[in-house]
Amino acid sequence: MRREEGQSDASAEAAVVLVEKVKGALRLAAADPRAMGLGLSPGMTLADARARAPDIRVVAHRPEADAALLKRVLLDFGRFTPMAATDGPDGLALDVTGCAHLFGGEAGLVKAVEARARGIGLAIRTAMAGAPEAARALTRFGRGGIHQGEGQRAALRRLPVAALELSDKETQALSRAGLKTLAQLDDRPTAPIAARFGAAAATRLNRVLGREDVRIRPERPTLMVSVDRVLVEPITETADIEAVIGDLLAEAMDRLDLRGQGGRAFQAAFFRVDGEVRRITVRTGRPSRDAAGVLRLFKERLAALARPLDPGFGFDQLRLSVRAGRGPPGVAPAGVRANPAGGGRSGAAGRPPDRPPGPGSRQPV
């Protein structure tokens, strides 16, 4: 939450809560760390909150503004992986299989995500695990962190049954039966759990413990091949941008060659230091592996954009995504043509299908 200009120092230091009307009563929708430290929590009535902390600052909750911000963060966090999706109204799920090496390993990737969030004023908790539901549970009901193998299983078993995110009635039923943690459920056969507490409880348990994997559905449709360059120093010059595109094209064409395929749609994504993302797509008349011919198309497109490519303070990452076409690849540049669509903003990013997310994929939330 950005503080309003001109407010007093006292107001700036006051605990802040967001309120919304629920069944005629004003209730807390969210509370900042200072408010949580005072014993306030979402769901509490505003009257009770003020009784405990009279000096809190009350702000009307605007869920549409939260959703718009989350979409912008999702767009920016696409720099970490093409497989990114929103996770509820206040979270993101990223499938980072095959992406960690770009950031020096999994620990480096998590640090980059957290640093990016801090840079735009967000306080977040992250977890990395082998399945998306496991990562979600460790983020929302655990301490986060990087987990795998037996360490992941042990961390999940320590979580409360609330981590299954069942209905209040189902959670209460588990509690009345003396089942407080996932370990107590994990030690029992699944069939009796489903018979006594419902199929949803057994399904959620299997997913959270990583026995059953649910794929992340990215917000943007995925393409066939995706290659990235994370740059140590941001670039602004057209010649440097074209050189990086050329390197990415060479790598993408090698991958297509191994598959005996050719590309039909080539999309370059330009990630600016300030979080803005621009995408430009060119298409070919037939499947192609002609890197030089496609690079000429990108140069022509960049030169002819109605809205020029603005690097701002520089691009710190570029991604090339390719959709392969059927049939034998054409290698003659005469077979390529520029995408006639204006603006160059449509398209998507993705990853080769030979690296699909699965039970062993790494999923930070």
- 10-37 pLDDT, tens digit per residue, is 445 789 999 999 988 999 999 998 999 9
Given a cut of 60, whether residue 89 has pLDDT beyond it is: yes
Strand residue runs (E) in the chain: 16-22, 25-31, 57-60, 83-86, 92-95, 127-129, 145-146, 225-235, 262-272, 277-288, 315-325, 363-364
Residue 337 has pLDDT above 50, yes or no: no
Using 50, 70 and 90 to split pLDDT, how confident is the model at 220?
confident
When pLDDT is cut at 50, 70 and 90, the band that residue 221 belongs to is low
Does residue 164 lie within any of the structural domains?
no
Does residue 72 fall inside a structural domain? yes
Are 30 and 75 in the same domain?
Answer: no
Nearest CA-CA partner of 252 in 351, 320, 299: 320
Residues in the chain: 365
Domain assignment present for residue 258? The answer is yes
- Domain presence at residue 204: no
Q: Does residue 239 sit in the same domain as residue 322? A: yes
Please state which of the ranges 110-114, 223-227, 302-306, 316-320 shows the lowest mean pLDDT: 223-227
Burial class (CB in 10 A: 0-12, 13-18, 19+), 197: buried
In angstroms, the CA 159 to CA 257 distance is: 47
- The mean per-residue pLDDT over the stretch 322-344 comes to 46
Q: What is the mean pLDDT of the chain?
A: 84
113 and 23 in a common domain: no
Whether residues 46 and 69 share a domain: the answer is no
* Residue 360 pLDDT: 37
Do 68 and 42 lie in a common domain?
Answer: no
Residues 291 and 325 in one domain: yes
The CA distance from 103 to 223, in Å, is 22
Query: What local confidence, expressed as pLDDT, does residue 18 receive?
Result: 95
Whether residues 229 and 314 share a domain: the answer is yes
Q: Is residue 152 part of a domain?
A: no
Measured CA angle at 69 (ends 269, 222), to 5 deg: 35
Residues 114 and 39 placed together within one structural domain of the fold: no
The dihedral through the CA atoms of 178, 179, 185, 189 has a sign that is: positive
One domain for residues 27 and 16? yes
What one-character DSSP code corresponds to residue 160?
B
* 284 CB-contact burial (10 Å; exposed 0-12 / middle 13-18 / buried 19+): buried
182 burial via Cβ count (<10 Å: 0-12, 13-18, 19+) = buried
Separation of alpha carbons 296 and 333, rounded Å: 9
pLDDT exceeds 50 at position 83: yes
> Would you say the pTM of this structure is higher than 0.75?
no
Rounded Cα–Cα distance for residues 302 and 309 (Å): 7
Quick one: which of 219, 208, 230, 221 has its CA closest to 70? 219
pLDDT at 6: 41
Instruction: Assign residue 322 the CATH number of its domain.
Output: 3.30.1490.100
- Cα Rg of the chain, angstroms: 24
pLDDT for the residue numbered 64: 93
Please check whether residue 153 lies inside any domain of the structure. no
What's the total number of domains in the chain? Answer: 3
Domain assignment present for 217: no
Instruction: List, in sequence order, every residue forming a beta bridge with 227; answer none if it has no partner.
Output: 320
Whether the pLDDT of residue 338 is over 90: the answer is no
Q: Please, what is the end-to-end C-alpha distance for the chain in angstroms?
A: 21
Considering the domain architecture, whether residues 114 and 71 belong to the same structural domain is answered as yes
Per the structure, the complete domain to which residue 305 belongs is given by 225-335
Token digits for 274? 């300030």
- C-alpha span between 36 and 42 (Å, rounded): 9
The amino acid at residue 157 is R
CA nearest to 269, candidates 293, 235, 245, 304: 245
| Contacts with 13 (C-beta within 8 Å, 6 or more apart), sequence order | none
Q: At 23, which CATH number?
A: 3.40.1170.60
Whether residue 248 lies inside any domain: the answer is yes
The rounded distance, in Å, linking the Cα atoms of 249 and 267 is 10
Is the domain of 15 the same as that of 116? Answer: no
Together in a domain, 45 and 107: no
